[in-house]
Amino acid sequence: MNKKEELNAALVAAMKSKDETRKIPLRLVMAAVKLAEIESKSELDDAGVISLIQKEVKARRESIADAEKAGRDDLVAAAQAEMEVLQEFLPEELSEEQLKKIVQEAVAEAGASSPADMGNVMKVLMPKVKGRADGSLVSRLVKQALEG
Which residue range forms the structural domain that includes residue 102?
96-147
For 43-82, b/e burial (b = at least 16 CB within 10 A) is ebeeebbbebbbebbebbeebbeebeeeeeeeebebbeeb
110 and 64 in a common domain? no
pLDDT score recorded for residue 144: 87
82 and 11 in a common domain? yes
pLDDT score recorded for residue 30: 95
The predicted-structure confidence for 51-66, as pLDDT tens digits, reads as follows: 899 899 889 999 999 9
Q: How many domains does the chain have?
A: 2
Q: DSSP readout, 11-68? A: HHHHHHTT-HHHHHHHHHHHHHHHHHHHHHTS---HHHHHHHHHHHHHHHHHHHHHHH
73 and 102 in a common domain? no
- From 68, 87, 106, the end of a domain falls on 87
Using pLDDT thresholds of 50, 70 and 90, give the confidence band for residue 127. Answer: confident
43 and 104 in a common domain? no
pLDDT at 136 over 90: no
Residue 19 or residue 112, greater confidence: 19
20 and 70 in a common domain? yes
76 and 39 in a common domain? yes
